[in-house]
Amino acid sequence: MISSHLPVLQVILPLIAAPLCVILRQGTLSWLLTTLVCFMSLAISSCLYDQVMTEGVISYALGGWLSPWGIEYRLDKLTVFMLLIVNGVAAIVLLGARSSIPNEISSDRLYLFYTAFLLNLTGLLGVIVTGDAFNLFVFIEIASLSSYAMISIGRDRRCLYAAFKYLIFGTIGASFILISVGLLYAVTGTLNMNDIFQRLPDVENTRTLTTALVFFVVGVGIKAAIFPLHLWLPDAYSYSPSIVSTFLAGTTTKVFIYVLIRFIFSIFGYDTAINGGTFNNLLMMFACAGILYGSYLAIKQDSLKRLLAYSSIAQLGYMLLGISLATEAGLAAGLIHVFNHAIIKVALFLSVVTIIFYCKTDSIIQLAGLAKKLPLLTSAFLVSGLSLIGVPMTAGFISKWYLIKASLQSGYWGLVVVIVFSSVLAIIYIWKFIEASYFKSSEKELVALNEDQKTPCLLLFSLALFVIANIYFGLDSSFNVELANAIANDLFRK
């Protein structure tokens, strides 16, 4: 009975829990509730994964209204893949938040943070499961508004400016998506994604459709921080409370990459969107530019969070590159990187969270000699950093391998050069921190450690989980690689 309603539970559960947090008005209890909800949500998505893998696509009519009139939730393999990523990251990051968040947010606002977190999760999950274009916009707004709140909730005053910047950009992006959805409605008379897909061939090659596509791509480009529409991202990541950056880095931008894939394949239809070649060539250009730009600027940063933020822009370029190859292998490579980058970036951000927890700073210069005091923590950063670079036997290597292979199969030699060159840049910016923490030992630069801090067990636990995941998925990548291949296969057959 209940198993047939799982799709809606996935979204409703965090939505119900959010106001409960406000009623509780207390940090620890809110945390308990939120963590509980996140783990239940993770359990639901695993059940959904099982269902989709055994029974195929699930179509759920919200409130019993059948699909052209009511809102349809539509779950295929891509949906459950994204659900697993978002829920996995949310649950484990939240576990670690217990130790670090009281340091960065004043205690009377803690319950508000958890409320915003739950709303954000609702929004992201809703975006993923919905099969209705307008509903998707609504969920995008829920996710965006709550993330502005989460960013601005910290003690650091600069986060207000970062949140405001994100708000302006994000609103423009969401409006563009709305305009695109409106145009699609104008030409097809429906909002259901599947219906739009069926009816689009009738209006093929109309100017309205092209306009809709352009508005959509620009809108989603802003939201996903695709170069050159990424300007909000570095500030948002570096000034927000560090656990918020961790969560955003692991989920938000990836969900918008998902929206891009979903619109290209399930709404515009692959041929309409890609066929001319102009579209994917443009995407490819921006992807390459983003990869090089992000990696280059990452080298110049002193703040670890900002460094990781620029590196995220580059890594988003990799995902986009995979999609822009317009082949099954390319799309699979992009999806594999969506998964792997989630675990890599979250592991890196979590180690930065822990570093900030102990040292109250994330400036590389001030962290010189850290490895002597916190050897395990720096080695956790090292392992995840190696994974980001793409050293064999780590998750990052698997992504690089499939990306390069897909580029070679399509005959784009230039892309291989871009990928390997940016890997070299990644070595440089990861090495900056490694060299400072391991090999710099001039006495006066040594970090001041907060000795009175209690060991953040939960934080270290979630960090350890992600570091282990980096190695595990580097050694045995059958789960994500096979799933990504299956998804790419499904989407291209459609």
Partner 1 sequence: MMTDQLLIILALCIPTVAAILIAVTHNNVNLRETGTLLSSVCLIFVVYNLLQIVLAGDQPQLFLLKFLPGLAIHFKIEPLGMLFACIASFLWLINSIYSIGYMRGNNEKHQTRFYICFAVAIASTIGIAFSANLITLFIFYEALTLSTYPLVTHKGSEDAMRAGRAYLGILLSTSICFFLPAIIWTSVLAGNTEFTSGGILDNEMNHCVIFILLMLFSYGIGKAALMPMHRWLPAAMVAPTPVSALLHAVAVVKAGVFSIVKIVTYIFSPALLAEVVDFNLLLYLAGVTIIVASIIALQADNLKRRLAYSTISQLSYVILATALLAPISIMGAALHILAHAFGKITLFFAAGSIYTATKKTAVSELDGIGKVMPWTMGAFAIASLSMIGVPPTAGFLSKWYILQGAFSVESWFAITVIIISTLLNAGYFLPIVYAAFFKKPSDGKKLDYHEAPFAMVFALTVTSILTIVLFLFPEIPLQLVKMLVGNMI
Min dist. Cβ of residue 331 to partner 1 (A): 18
CA–CA separation, 479 and 489 (whole Å) = 15
- Helix locations, 189-277, DSSP H: 193-199, 207-223, 233-239, 242-250, 252-262, 270-274
Min dist. Cβ of residue 390 to partner 1 (A): 8
Question: Taking CB under 8 A as the rule, does residue 439 contact partner 1?
Answer: yes
- Closer CB to partner 1, 285 or 393, in the complex: 393
- Closer CB to partner 1, 154 or 369, in the complex: 369
Which residues between 445 and 474 bind partner 1 (CB under 8 A)?
Answer: 474
In 3D space, the residue among 386, 433, 393, 226 whose CA is nearest the CA of residue 315 turns out to be 226
Among 398, 447, 460, 483, binds partner 1 (CB under 8 A): 398
Instruction: Give me the residues paired with residue 59 across strands.
Output: 74
Size of the site for partner 1 (CB under 8 A): 29
Min dist. Cβ of residue 179 to partner 1 (A): 42
Min dist. Cβ of residue 371 to partner 1 (A): 11
- Closer CB to partner 1, 15 or 416, in the complex: 416
Question: Taking CB under 8 A as the rule, does residue 335 contact partner 1?
Answer: no
Among 46, 401, 446, 489, binds partner 1 (CB under 8 A): 401
CA–CA separation, 166 and 223 (whole Å) = 9
Question: Taking CB under 8 A as the rule, does residue 161 contact partner 1?
Answer: no
Distance, first Cα to last Cα, the chain: 31
In 3D space, the residue among 42, 54, 28 whose CA is nearest the CA of residue 89 turns out to be 42
- Closer CB to partner 1, 276 or 375, in the complex: 375
Instruction: Give me the residues paired with residue 61 across strands.
Output: 72
Question: Taking CB under 8 A as the rule, does residue 172 contact partner 1?
Answer: no
Instruction: Show the CA angle centred on residue 241, arms to residues 238 and 245, nearest 5°.
Output: 55
Which residues between 51 and 70 bind partner 1 (CB under 8 A)?
Answer: none
Question: Taking CB under 8 A as the rule, does residue 296 contact partner 1?
Answer: no
Min dist. Cβ of residue 364 to partner 1 (A): 15
Min dist. Cβ of residue 395 to partner 1 (A): 10
Torsional sign, CA 488, 140, 119, 150: positive
CA–CA separation, 63 and 131 (whole Å) = 14
CA–CA separation, 107 and 459 (whole Å) = 18
In 3D space, the residue among 318, 336, 311, 326 whose CA is nearest the CA of residue 398 turns out to be 336
Among 3, 106, 208, 441, binds partner 1 (CB under 8 A): 441
CB 53 within 8 A of CB 77: yes
Among 29, 175, 405, 468, binds partner 1 (CB under 8 A): 405
Question: Taking CB under 8 A as the rule, does residue 435 contact partner 1?
Answer: yes
Min dist. Cβ of residue 392 to partner 1 (A): 4
Q: CB neighbours (10 Å) of residue 458? A: 18
Instruction: Give me the residues paired with residue 75 across strands.
Output: 58
Min dist. Cβ of residue 52 to partner 1 (A): 23
- Closer CB to partner 1, 366 or 410, in the complex: 410
Among 282, 372, 475, 479, binds partner 1 (CB under 8 A): 475
- Closer CB to partner 1, 70 or 392, in the complex: 392
Instruction: Show the CA angle centred on residue 112, arms to residues 107 and 114, nearest 5°.
Output: 95
Min dist. Cβ of residue 408 to partner 1 (A): 5
Stretch that binds partner 1, among 238-246, 273-281, 396-404, 460-468 (CB under 8 A): 396-404
Torsional sign, CA 455, 395, 84, 311: positive
Among 43, 53, 365, 424, binds partner 1 (CB under 8 A): 424
Question: Taking CB under 8 A as the rule, does residue 360 contact partner 1?
Answer: no
CA–CA separation, 277 and 475 (whole Å) = 36
Question: Taking CB under 8 A as the rule, does residue 43 contact partner 1?
Answer: no
Question: Taking CB under 8 A as the rule, does residue 373 contact partner 1?
Answer: no
In 3D space, the residue among 255, 243, 249, 458 whose CA is nearest the CA of residue 353 turns out to be 243
Longest dimension (CA), the chain: 73
CB 137 within 8 A of CB 225: no
CA–CA separation, 197 and 176 (whole Å) = 20
Question: Taking CB under 8 A as the rule, does residue 392 contact partner 1?
Answer: yes
CA–CA separation, 134 and 58 (whole Å) = 20
Q: What is the DSSP letter of 264?
A: I
Stretch that binds partner 1, among 207-215, 287-295, 402-410, 451-459 (CB under 8 A): 402-410
Min dist. Cβ of residue 321 to partner 1 (A): 15
Residue numbers of the site for partner 1 (CB under 8 A)? 389-393, 398, 400-401, 404-405, 408-409, 416-417, 420-421, 423-424, 427-428, 431, 435, 439, 441, 474-477, 481
